[in-house]
Amino acid sequence: MEFLSTRSCGAADSLDAILRGLAPDGGLYVPARVPAAFAAAGCETLEKAERSALGAVFDDVAEAVREDAIRNLLAKFPSEPVPLVHAGGLDVLELFHGPTGAFKDVALSVLPVLMAAAASRAGCRRVLILTATSGDTGSAAMAGFADVPGVEIAVFFPNTGTSRIQRLQMTTPSAKNVHGIAIRGNFDDAQAAVKRIFADSAIRAEAAAKGVWLSSANSINIGRLVPQIGYYLYAAAKLGVEFDVAVPSGNFGNILAAKYAKLMGAPIRRLVCASNVNDVLARFIATGIYDPGDKFTVTNSPSMDIRRSSNVEREIWLACGGLEDPAAAAAETKRLMDEFAATGRYALSLSAKARLQEEFLCGSVTPEETEAEMRRMRAECGYVLDPHTAVATAVARKLGLPKDGVPCLVAATATPYKFPETCQRAFGENVLASPPPSFAALETAPVTQTKVVDVDGIDAAVRELF
Ligand SMILES: *Cc1c(COP(=O)(O)O)cnc(C)c1O
C-alpha cells in the first residue's frame, strides 16, 4: 500500500506512515486506494475482521507483525471483545471492554506492535511518542505502550476537564517508559502544541542527534485508524443487513473508520456524527463551513470537547475526490488548511459539501439532554450508558433513527464506570454497582506523574525526554 499526504502527493509505505504519524508537509496520511475487505463470512469474529482490515490496508507489513498485533489486542480484551447488544431499539456496539474502559483501547493495543516494528526497521534507537489527549487517548496510550521496548510515550492532558478516573489512569502508571504531563490549557491547546513540535525541524533534528524519533499515537496516526475499521466490519457481519451508524465524535477518527469500513464494502447507509455543545463537527456537516468559533465549553462528555478535529482533513480529501484524483484533492485540501491557518475557518466547495452531506447526518445535544437520555435509556430498557454514548443515542433519536426498517448501530465508546460523577448526577443515585477491578485499584495506586506545565512549557518538557 502506498500512503499519500492529504496535502501533497509524497508517498510512504505502511510502516513509514505509522512511524511518522504526520506527513512532513503537515498533512495526514491516507491510503491511496481502498481495497474491498468486507465479506460477511470473513468478518464474523473481531479477530477475522481485524485480520481483514489490517491485511487490506497494511498489506506491505509482514503478516507475522499483523498477527502479533491482533494477538496483543485479543489478549487485552475479554473473550467476547466487542459485544453487540440490542437496547432501546438500537444496536449498541460495546467497544469499551479493554484495559482503560474506552474504545481507544482497541487501536492502542494494535498500534504499539506496529510502531515497534516500524522503529526496528528504521533502526531508531528510541521512538518518543507525543500525544495530546482530552482524557481517553492518554490513558489508553499509556496502557498500550507500557513497557514496549524502544518506545517512550509522553501524554499531555488538560489539568482540568478530564474525569477523575481518567486523571488517575494518567497519573498512576508505573511503567518507566510512560510520562503523563498535565497542561494548563485545554485539549486544542495541547493538540496544537504537539502538532507544532512535529512540524518543527529544529526540535526534530535535536531529537535525531540523540537517536530519538518523534511520533504520535493520536488518531492522526494511520495506525490508529485502521484497527478501528475492523470492529465496524465485524458489526456489519453480525447485523447481516444494511445499517446506519451513529458515532459520538470529537476528533472525527472513529466515525472516519466507519466511513472506511463503508468504502471497503460494509453495507453502511448513513454515518451519523453526534456532537455535544462543542458542535463544530455538526455545524460543519450541516453547512460545509468549518468554524470553531471561540466558545469552548467543558461538558459531561469531555472526550468530545474538541473544536479542531484533526481527522476532518482526511474526510475533506475524500470528499474532494482523493481516491479518484489525489493531486487535485491534495491541492484543494492544502488550500483549505492554509485558509484555516490564516482566517480560522474555511468553506468547502459546493461539490465537496454535497458529497459530505450525501453520507453524513449530524446533530448535537446539551449536557442536560445527555443526562436526560441516560435516564431515559435506563428507565426504558435498564441500560446504563456513559455520557459520550448517550450523546450518540440522543442524536440518533432526534433524527428519528432507526428508520425505514434499517437498524442503527451506535458506537458505545466508554464504560459508564469511567464517569461516575455524571452518572450520579444523571440518576440521582449510584447505579454503578461494582466497578471493574482495574478501576477500583486506581483509588489506592500511588501517584507517579505529577508534572504540570504551561502550554508554552510543552517544548521544554519534551526536550527533557530526549
Ligand atoms: C475519543 C472519544 C470520543 C471521540 O472519538 P473521536 O475518534 O475522537 O471522534 C468519543 N467518546 C469517547 C468515550 C472517547 O474516548
Which of the listed residues 136, 299, 311, 418 should we mutate to test ligand 1's pocket, taking the one with most ligand atoms within 8 A of CB?
A: 136
Give pLDDT, residue 3.
Answer: 98
d(CA 366, CA 38): 36
What is the Cα–Cα distance from 241 to 266, expressed in whole angstroms? Answer: 9
> Residue 248 has what pLDDT?
98
Q: Is residue 342 part of a domain?
A: yes
Nearest to 221 by CA among 127, 95, 354, 80: 127
Q: Is the CB of 412 under 6 A from ligand 1?
A: no
Evaluate whether residue 371 is within a structural domain: yes
**How big is the CA angle at 247 (ends 246 and 250), to the nearest 5 degrees?**
150
325 within a domain of the structure (yes/no): yes
With a 6 Å cutoff on the Cβ, whether 20 touches ligand 1 is no
Counting as low any pLDDT under 50, the low residues of the chain are none
pLDDT the model gives residue 228 = 98
Total domains, the chain: 1
Identify the residue whose C-alpha is closest to ligand 1 atom 8.
251
Contact 142, 438 (CB under 8 A): no
CATH number at 242 reads 3.40.50.1100
Residue 452 lies in a domain: no
pLDDT tens digits along 270-304? 999 999 999 999 999 999 999 999 888 989 998 99
User: Residue 428's pLDDT is what?
Assistant: 95
Compute CA distances 33 → 30, 77, 323, whole Å: 9, 31, 6
DSSP 80: S
Give the cell for residue 131.
500525544
Q: Which atom of ligand 1 is nearest to the CA of 413?
A: 13
CB 273 within 8 A of CB 251: no
Instruction: Tell me which residue has its CA closest to atom 2 in ligand 1.
Output: 303
- What's residue 294's pLDDT? 85
Q: Which residues contact 434 (CB under 8 A, 6 or more apart)?
A: none
Question: Residue 102 corresponds to which cell in the numbers above?
Answer: 474506552
416 lines ligand 1 (CB under 6 A): no
CB 356 within 8 A of CB 269: no
Q: Please give the pLDDT value at position 301.
A: 94
Atom of ligand 1 nearest to the CA of 96: 13
User: Could you tell which of 97, 304, 362 is best to mutate to test the pocket of ligand 1, judged by most ligand atoms within 8 Å of the CB?
Assistant: 304
- CA of 252 relative to ligand 1 center, distance in Å: 8
| Residue 59: strand, helix, or coil | coil
pLDDT on residue 9:
75
**Residue-wise DSSP of 433-466:** -S--HHHHHHTTSPP----EEEGGGHHHHHHTT-
Return the ligand 1 atom nearest residue 249 CA: 9
Tell me the CA–centroid distance for residue 201 and ligand 1, in Å. Answer: 30
The verdict on the CB of residue 414 being under 6 Å from ligand 1 is yes
Q: Is residue 123 part of a domain?
A: no
For 250, other C-beta atoms within 10 Å of its C-beta total 31
Mutation test residue for ligand 1: of 219, 249, 370, the one with most atoms within 8 Å of CB:
249
Residue 116 maps to a domain: no
Neighbours of 455 (CB within 10 A): 15
Q: Which pLDDT belongs to residue 84?
A: 98
For 463, residues 6+ apart whose C-beta sits below 8 A from its C-beta are 203, 206
Q: How far apart are CA 249 and CA 247, in angstroms?
A: 6
Task: Output the pLDDT for position 369.
Answer: 98
What is the pLDDT, as a whole number, of residue 153?
97
Give the cell for residue 287.
453547512
- Determine if the pTM surpasses 0.85: yes
How much is the pLDDT for 188? 85
Distance 152 CA to ligand 1 centre (A): 23
Which of 254, 215, 43 lies closest to 131 in space, CA to CA?
215
30 touches ligand 1 (CB under 6 Å) = no
The reply to whether ligand 1 has any atom less than 6 angstroms from the CB of 104 is: yes
**Residue 221: inside a domain:** no
259 lines ligand 1 (CB under 6 A): no
Residue 286 covered by a domain:
yes
Backbone dihedral angles phi then psi of residue 414, each to the nearest 5 degrees: -150, 155
324-365 pLDDT tens trace = 999 999 999 999 999 999 999 999 999 999 999 999 999 999
pLDDT at 236: 98
The residue range of the domain holding 280 is: 81-101+226-427
pLDDT of 64 reads: 98
Please tell me if the CB atom of residue 249 comes closer than 6 angstroms to any atom of ligand 1. yes
The dihedrals phi and psi of 268, each to the nearest 5 degrees, come to -100, 130
How far, in Å, from the CA of 420 to the mean position of ligand 1?
Answer: 18
Report CA(320)–ligand 1 centroid distance (Å): 25
Q: What burial letters (b/e) apply to 65-91, b meaning 16+ CB within 10 Å? A: bbbbbbebbbebbeeebbebeebbebb
